[in-house]
């Protein structure tokens, strides 16, 4: 996924977590709702000025907005885990490590 889509997805996630509609956030950031929509779906990238307005409206730092250690949803994580498992193949040493890791995670719950 490209940076435009990743950033738009993050802005939308922040907006929804704060309970804002697109209309409300666009008013707070002094940008059009159409502009916000196109940013959120990754059609357009923000200008420096618009980015500054969104950071202020969402009350986040640039570091928070651009952080890539965001927790992914379960379906995406399962997909990524399965891709990793497929790339490991039948390597017995790596499979044993994965088995022991998952076993220890089950014990901790």
pLDDT of 71 reads: 63
pLDDT in tens, 57-105: 999 999 889 887 666 678 878 888 888 888 888 888 888 888 888 888 8
Domains of the chain are: 3-66 (1.10.260.40), 74-107 (no CATH)
Q: Which of 3-12, 37-46, 49-58, 93-102 has the lowest mean pLDDT?
A: 93-102
User: Which residue pairs from 93-100 have beta carbons closer than 8 angstroms and sit at least 24 positions apart in sequence?
Assistant: none
Whether 106 shows a pLDDT value over 60: the answer reads: yes
Q: Distance (Å, rounded) from C-alpha 26 to C-alpha 33?
A: 5
């Amino acid at each position: 996924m490209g940076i435009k889509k990743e950033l738009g997805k993050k802005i939308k996630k922040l907006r929804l977590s704060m309970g804002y509609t697109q209309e409300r956030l666009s008013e707070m950031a002094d940008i059009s709702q159409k502009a916000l929509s196109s940013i959120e779906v990754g059609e357009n990238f923000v200008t420096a000025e618009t980015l500054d307005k969104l950071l202020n409206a969402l009350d986040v730092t640039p570091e928070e907005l651009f952080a890539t250690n965001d927790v992914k949803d379960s379906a995406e994580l399962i997909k990524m885990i399965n891709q990793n498992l497929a790339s490991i193949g039948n390597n017995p040493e790596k499979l044993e490590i994965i088995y022991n890791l998952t076993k220890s995670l089950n014990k901790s719950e």
